[in-house]
Structure 1
Amino acid sequence: MQTVVIVIHLMIVATLIGMVLLQKSEGGGLGMGGGAGFMSSRGTANLLSRTTAVLAVGFFLTSLLLSWLASYDRKPASIIPTEPTSQSQPAGPATPISPPQGGGILDSLRKSDERQQSQPEPAGPQAPRSQ
């Protein structure tokens, strides 16, 4: 269904573009309008403007239909889980969690600086190595 509406929508779009390009320029903004073209009669101008209006209505309606079809299968979703998580007790006796023995991030940075300073200096230029 959606594919059929998309094909109809694209055909309306292509025809609408053609109808707009066929119409006579009346503003003269680019200085190109006013000449006698192959469609210069008043009746043709009315036909083109009415056809453009009908195609514009068709474009609007197919756009609305496509947006409705796109949202038809969409189900509301939430980022918050709807099922409550069960809080189960551990099987064994509860033991307190001890703080990490290695210290914080500053201590680990100090240790890495000490390791880099304790390495001997190279005798000459060397190629970089991956660690």
Structure 2
Amino acid sequence: MQNVILIVHLILALSLIGVVLLQRSEGGGLGMGGGGGAMSQRAAATAMGKVTWILAAAFIVTSLTLTILAAQDASGVSVMDRLTGGTPSDSPASDNGTLDTDALLPPPAAEDTGADANAPLVPRAD
């Protein structure tokens, strides 16, 4: 179902691009100097204008439908769980809902090398 709506959405997008490019230019940059368009009292209701509105409305409907379907598929899944590969039970929250700060700290070092952590790294000449 989602694939069919996605294909229809792509066809609508390409059709909308084509119809907009086929429309007659009214001259002037950003609508200045044409004498018509949005600045006139009554916009011309041409066939191309009607087709543009229909395609735009259908494009918005398919966009909303795809968004709703994607939200239903992803309900209950956190983005962070997908990034870390964990499950929701692996979260750092404890059973009572408070945050367990020990789970957020990095693990302790396996061995202490005795080197100063703030000392600059200098390559050895072997």
Q: Output the TM-score relative to the length of structure 1.
A: 0.50
Provide structure 1 residue ranges, at least 5 long, that are not aligned to the other structure: 35-44, 85-101, 111-127
- Deviation of 1:76 (Å): 2.0
Does residue 75 of structure 1 match 2:87? Answer: no
1:56 partnered with 2:56: yes
Question: Amino acid of the residue matched to residue 23 of structure 1?
Answer: Q
The answer to whether the aligner puts 1:25 opposite 2:25 as a matched pair is yes
- Residue 105 of structure 2 is matched in structure 1 by none
Provide the C-alpha distance between the structure 2 equivalents of 1:13 and 1:58, rounded to a whole number of angstroms.
10
Structure label with greater radius of gyration: 1
RMSD value, Cα: 3.6
What displacement does 1:29 show?
1.6
Q: Which moved more, 1:72-81 or 1:16-25?
A: 72-81
Give the structure 1 partner of residue 115 of structure 2: 109
Give the secondary-structure state (helix, strand or coil) at the position aligned to 1:109.
Answer: coil
- 2:55 counterpart letter in structure 1: L
Separation in 2, partners of 1:27, 1:64: 34
Q: Which amino acid aligns with 1:62?
A: T
Question: How far, CA to CA, are the matches of 1:16 and 1:63 in structure 2?
Answer: 14
* Alignment deviations for residues 62-93 of structure 1 (CA, whole Å, 9 cap, x no partner): 00000001011223246646784xxxxxxxxx
The equivalences for 1:29-40 within 5 A come to 29=29
Report 1 or 2 for greater relative contact order, CA contacts < 8 Å, sequence distance ≥ 6: 1
> Secondary structure at 2:56's aligned position in 1?
helix
Q: How many residues align?
A: 82
**Distance in 2 between the 1:28 and 1:18 partners?**
21
Name the CA distance, whole Å, in 2 between partners of 1:6 and 1:16: 15
TM-score by length of 2: 0.52
**Map of 1:15 onto structure 2:** 15
